[in-house]
């Protein structure tokens, strides 16, 4: 027990952007507080206008806003809310980003590009945030893009618990590409199943074999895991390789972030995907019709906020995610 820290006596303030108000509401409910009252509206020329309608002076505020598409609008809204809170005398501002857009722009490949993820990080810092809470970042090293504290949560425990009950004995956790290998390991460990890895093998310097599999999938039921599903292209390619390798044609697909943009719904509906599981880090696109099981990250995010706010350690919370 730490006797050096005293818990603040006031509750955390939860402020919802417009990107995912349901998640913010659920987080607030878990914390037993109402959402901070605010207006987010647009002038006739489309310019954003925000107003925090209650007194936040001296408050520690947690602004919940995934920077999902349209990322610019959601990002600017977050920055405007931060400015409003800061000028209204908030004691501290934490950006709660259940999904961190632009995470894939983490390096310049040819030298003429913007370093998008760092640019976003810079804008968040310049706007007065003292802390960022993120979840299943595409690149863990994004933590170093910030000079402020970043707490990196994970939905893996939530999603693993969700698929565990009716997971067949013969299931194998599959990473659809190299980038998902560590994630697959975490699922495998949590679910006590073996792991397999789809990747492209270079036959010679010029010839690339479209996809091969490390690990045993023949006759087994794949649990395909990734951090996000965008257009579904990576999933589609991996499923085709798995089927060619003789897996059971009953695939479960699990991802932390369900963007489902462009042809995603069509692509996924054409595949033998028995079950599609994501979290509510991002609101499902309007008119999205694919059957998908959505598990809430509100409990884990709320727990993280609670610990941060009351000066408790996040170690085991983050450790499960590491």
Q: Give the footprint of a second copy on residues 281-300 (CB under 8 A).
A: none
Of 194 and 249, CB closest to a second copy: 194
Check binding of 109 to a second copy (CB under 8 A).
Answer: yes
- Give the sign of the dihedral formed by CA 90, CA 102, CA 126, CA 149: positive
Task: Select from 22, 218, 274, 315 the one that contacts a second copy (CB under 8 A).
Answer: 315
Q: What is the torsion angle, in degrees rounded to the nearest 10, for the CA atoms of residue 241, residue 244, residue 247 and residue 251? A: 50
Tokens 């009716």 sit on residue: 166
Minimum distance, C-beta of residue 125 to a second copy, in the bound complex (Å): 8
Site for a second copy in 38-77 (CB under 8 A): 38, 44-60, 69-73, 75-76
Check binding of 142 to a second copy (CB under 8 A).
Answer: yes
What are 212's two structure tokens? 């091969």
Q: Give kind and range of the element (H or E) at residue 197.
A: strand 195-202
Minimum distance, C-beta of residue 229 to a second copy, in the bound complex (Å): 10
- Catalytic residue at 306? no
Residues 6+ apart with CB under 8 A from 238: 174, 176, 177, 198, 211, 224
Minimum distance, C-beta of residue 75 to a second copy, in the bound complex (Å): 7
Count other C-beta atoms under 10 Å from residue 27's C-beta.
Answer: 30
- Site size with a second copy, rule: CB under 8 A: 121
Rg (CA), the chain: 21
Site for a second copy in 184-223 (CB under 8 A): 185, 188-195, 197, 199, 201-206, 212, 214-215
Q: Which of 86, 200, 306, 307 is catalytic?
A: 200
Site for a second copy in 240-269 (CB under 8 A): 259, 261-262
Check binding of 168 to a second copy (CB under 8 A).
Answer: no
| Structural contact between residues 129 and 83, judged by C-beta atoms closer than 8 angstroms | no
Task: Select from 81, 158, 225, 238 the one that contacts a second copy (CB under 8 A).
Answer: 81
| Structural contact between residues 149 and 130, judged by C-beta atoms closer than 8 angstroms | yes
Minimum distance, C-beta of residue 204 to a second copy, in the bound complex (Å): 5
Q: What is the torsion angle, in degrees rounded to the nearest 10, for the CA atoms of residue 210, residue 211, residue 212 and residue 216? A: -150
Minimum distance, C-beta of residue 40 to a second copy, in the bound complex (Å): 10
Which residues are marked as active site?
200
């Amino acid at each position: 027990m730490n006797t050096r820290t005293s818990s603040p006596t006031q509750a955390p303030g939860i402020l919802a952007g417009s990107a995912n108000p349901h998640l913010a509401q659920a987080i607030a409910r878990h914390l037993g507080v109402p959402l901070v009252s605010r207006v987010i509206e647009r002038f006739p020329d489309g310019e954003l206008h925000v107003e925090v309608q209650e007194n936040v002076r001296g408050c520690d505020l947690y602004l919940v806003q995934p920077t999902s598409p349209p990322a610019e609008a959601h990002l600017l809204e977050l920055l405007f809310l931060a400015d409003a809170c800061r000028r209204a005398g908030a004691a501290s501002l934490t950006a709660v980003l259940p999904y961190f857009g632009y995470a894939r722009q983490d390096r310049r490949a040819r030298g003429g590009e913007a370093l998008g993820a760092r640019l976003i990080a810079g804008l968040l810092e310049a706007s007065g945030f003292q802390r960022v809470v993120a979840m299943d970042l595409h690149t863990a090293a994004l933590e170093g893009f910030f000079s402020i504290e970043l707490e990196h949560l994970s939905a893996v425990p939530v999603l693993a618990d969700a698929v565990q009950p009716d997971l067949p004995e013969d299931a194998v956790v599959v990473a659809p590409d190299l980038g998902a290998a560590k994630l697959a390991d975490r699922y495998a460990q949590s679910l006590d199943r073996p792991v397999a890895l789809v990747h492209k093998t270079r036959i010679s310097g010029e010839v690339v074999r479209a996809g091969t599999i490390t690990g045993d999938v023949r006759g087994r039921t794949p649990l395909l895991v990734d951090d996000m599903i965008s257009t579904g292209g990576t999933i589609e390619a991996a499923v085709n390789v798995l089927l060619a390798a003789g897996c059971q044609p009953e695939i479960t697909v699990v991802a932390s972030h369900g963007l489902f943009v462009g042809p995603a719904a069509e692509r996924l509906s054409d595949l033998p995907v028995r079950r599609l599981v994501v979290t509510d880090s991002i609101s499902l696109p309007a008119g999205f019709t694919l059957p998908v099981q959505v598990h809430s990250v509100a409990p884990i995010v709320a727990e993280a906020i609670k610990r941060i706010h009351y000066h408790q350690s996040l170690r085991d919370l983050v450790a499960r995610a590491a």
